[in-house]
Amino acid sequence: MSALILDGKALAAQCEQQLSERVASLKDKSAGKTPILATILVGADPASATYVKMKGNACRRIGMDSLAVEMADDTSTEQLLSKINELNNNPDVHGILLQHPVPGQIDERACFDAIALEKDVDGVTCLGFGRMAMGEEAYGCATPKGIMRLLEHYSIALEGMHAVVVGRSPILGKPMAAMLLEANATVTICHSRTRNLPALIKQADLVVGAVGRPEFIKAAWVKDGAVVIDAGYHPGGVGDIELQPLKERCAAYTPVPGGVGPMTINTLIFQSVASAEKTLG
Which are the catalytic amino acids?
55, 99, 122
Pairing of strands 95-98, 65-71: unpaired
Residue 112 CB neighbour total at 10 angstroms: 22
DSSP, residue by residue, 230-255: E---BTTTB-SB--GGGTTTSSEE--
* CA contacts within 13 A on the Cβ side of 38: 23
Please answer whether residues 46 and 16 qualify as being in contact, where contact means their C-beta atoms are separated by less than 8 angstroms. Answer: no
3-state SS, 45-58, equals CHHHHHHHHHHHHH
Among 2, 9, 5, 91, CA closest to 263? 9
Any bridge partners for residue 4, and if so which?
252
Among 179, 76, 58, CA closest to 128? 179
Is the bond into 35 cis (omega within 30 degrees of 0)?
no
Pairing of strands 206-209, 65-71: unpaired
Please answer whether residues 65 and 57 qualify as being in contact, where contact means their C-beta atoms are separated by less than 8 angstroms. Answer: no
Is the bond into 175 cis (omega within 30 degrees of 0)?
no
In order of 24, 93, 160, the CA distances from 27 in angstroms are: 5, 15, 43
d(CA 76, CA 74): 6
